[in-house]
Amino acid sequence: MASSVIEHYGNDGIVSRIISALEEADFDINNLQPDVFAGADEFHIGGRKGSEFVASALNMQSGHHVLDLGSGIGGPARYIANTLDVTVEGIDLTPEFVEAAIEITEMVGMTERVSFQVGSATSIPFDDDTFDATTMLHVGMNISDKELLFSEMARVTKPNGSIVVYDVMRTGEGGLVFPMPWSSTPEYSFVDTKDAYVKAAENAGLELLTVDDHTEMAVSFFNNPPSEPPPVNLGHLMGTGMPEMFANAQNAINSGTIGPILLRFAN
Ligand SMILES: C[S@@+](CC[C@H](N)C(=O)[O-])C[C@H]1O[C@@H](n2cnc3c(N)ncnc32)[C@H](O)[C@@H]1O
């Protein structure tokens, strides 16, 4: 299963495609700010808006230590570190994404506050009670065993720490058409309902604090593209298959089959 997920996301040349696009858009590639990557490094519905939802759901103090599960190429981790003045460690199954996350973090001079390593959300390579908070954006759709996922999150998060999940969840009946952005085939797509997430989290001892359904934002995100496109986009991250994945996700959002939901828990 893990190898199919890695094959779906992993591809060569991510950073060079992004840098070429930034050069074409006349950015000084020796002086890049984290925000210029947002079109490509925020791989979830709403882009930067999604990371804003997560950051504002976290109740952090300066210097706190956050784990980002399935950190992709690091957009959410860098945004959360900058906005909340915390340190963030990301783990992700896909080696090419972790390499790109490290490279971009070096380029923007944030390596002292943000780091990444290859690892699985269902076998987190950290000790118990390591983090003040754990976040996860658009990753659970690749994970069948939500009970194990939440028990691992609870284990590495300190008592009373926050756990914030912003995932694509099933909100209606109807089949999904593949490829989707998280999966080329149904074989490793595990889109679950909010209730299934909450049950798994409560079985891991977490307390549900809030539920925010961001479907309205998602409909706008998919149907009203920005009048000025960003210099980089998810095509630079995922390659030429992205438009078809985007269109399939757009149809599923428009028909009410799936939606992005944010769940906030206390450990
Ligand atoms: C849609 S991307 C989201 C990336 C990032 N969270 C973001 O919002 O930009 C899903 C990510 O989850 C990672 N992933 C999937 N299953 C995972 C698992 N079991 N453990 C860790 N990472 C996983 C993938 O490699 C991919 O980077």
Residue 48's pLDDT is 98
Cβ of 182 closer than 6 Å to ligand 1, yes or no, is: yes
Cβ of 76 closer than 6 Å to ligand 1, yes or no, is: yes
Domain range for residue 150? 2-266
Q: Read off φ and ψ for residue 255, nearest 5 degrees.
A: -90, 0
- How many domains are contained in the chain? 1
- Could you state, in chain order, the average pLDDT of each consecutive group of 10 residues for the chain (267 residues)? 93 97 97 97 98 96 98 98 98 98 98 98 98 98 98 98 98 97 97 98 98 98 94 96 97 98 98
> Does residue 156 contact residue 263 with C-beta atoms inside 8 Å?
no
- Ligand 1: centre distance to CA 21 (Å): 24
Sequence-distant (6+) residues with CB within 8 A of 193 are: 169, 170, 171
Cβ of 143 closer than 6 Å to ligand 1, yes or no, is: yes
Cβ of 139 closer than 6 Å to ligand 1, yes or no, is: yes
Cβ of 5 closer than 6 Å to ligand 1, yes or no, is: yes
- Specify the ligand 1 atom closest to the Cα of 182: 1
Cβ of 137 closer than 6 Å to ligand 1, yes or no, is: yes
Tokens (6 digits) for 176 = 């999904």
Residue 140's pLDDT is 98
pLDDT tens digit string along 118-160? 999 999 999 999 999 999 999 999 999 999 999 999 999 999 9
pLDDT tens digit string along 52-72? 999 999 989 999 999 999 999
- Ligand 1: centre distance to CA 238 (Å): 13
Residue 224's pLDDT is 96
CATH code for position 80: 3.40.50.150
| Angle at which helices 75-84 and 95-107 cross, to 10° | 40
Cβ of 120 closer than 6 Å to ligand 1, yes or no, is: yes
The sign of the torsion formed by the CA atoms of 228, 27, 37, 112 equals negative
Burial 107-117 (b: 16+ CB within 10 A, else e): bbebeebbbbe
- Ligand 1: centre distance to CA 26 (Å): 30
- Ligand 1: centre distance to CA 173 (Å): 25
Residue nearest to atom 11 of ligand 1 (CA): 70
Residue nearest to atom 13 of ligand 1 (CA): 70
How crowded is residue 33: how many other Cβ atoms within 10 Å of its Cβ?
11
Residue nearest to atom 7 of ligand 1 (CA): 43
